[in-house]
Amino acid sequence: MILNGKRALVTGGTRGIGKSIVFELAANGATVVFTYFSSDEIARKLEEESAAMGYKIFGFKADAASFEEAEKTINFTLEKLGGLDILVNNAGITKDNLLLRMSPQDFDSVISANLKSVFNYTKLALKPMMGQRYGRMINISSVVGIIGNAGQSNYVASKAGVIGFTKSTAKEVASRNITCNAVAPGFIVTDMTGALNDKQKEAILTMVPLKRMGEGDDVAKTVVFLASDAASYITGQVIAVDGGMTM
């Protein structure tokens, strides 16, 4: 229970890596608000599931790309939890295509959902964190933000932007006892990777020294570490959770 009494907000928390982060934070003692964009039913189910496990988790519907809705989310979190100690910017989408075929709309929507959302929530979370002179900010990037990937120029640009944003934020807020780090997952078992065929998965594993895909919990445990006092002297860093893929 290394996060006992801490108050956390996770964007995009109903599935995949986000869901794993929400439950791992709660399992370590934090009270968590998570955002979601589409299904009220899934959000309510997660709340019920968590309550049965003795966790305190609350969903809030919001479009992460909207500054106004992010502001409502922060206000809800402060009212519901009484403060905010941990922010995890996880919300994101993909609209993959080769650059010659990518529409301006697909580029803009991915940048808005994946990068502008990080600006929205970070900016709004700064005031309460600076006031209490404590905060842990963790932004979910991707290994492709480090090494690039064909057919994902919009997604890669957004995730590389998250890394640069993380470093700049870390320098701005360090004097207020607020840390800001990024986690860069590699190939993690999610709905998206579940759609890959065996040949595609084999090709991926040739690039991973550990010869397996990661689990959502691998990322979530790294987030918990960065959110804890054990990581109080770590800021502005990018931790790749990728089975050795980018080394």
Residue labelled with tokens 């759609």: 195
Catalytic residue among 36, 55, 155, 233: 155
Tokens representing residue 67 in the block: 């500054």
* 155 tagged catalytic: yes
Strand order in the sheet with 178-185: 57-61, 31-36, 7-10, 86-89, 135-140, 178-185, 238-241
| Euclidean distance between CA atoms 179 and 162, whole angstroms | 15
Contact 189, 214 (CB under 8 A): yes
Tokens representing residue 245 in the block: 């893929």
> Letter for the amino acid at 27?
A
Q: What are the catalytic residues? A: 155
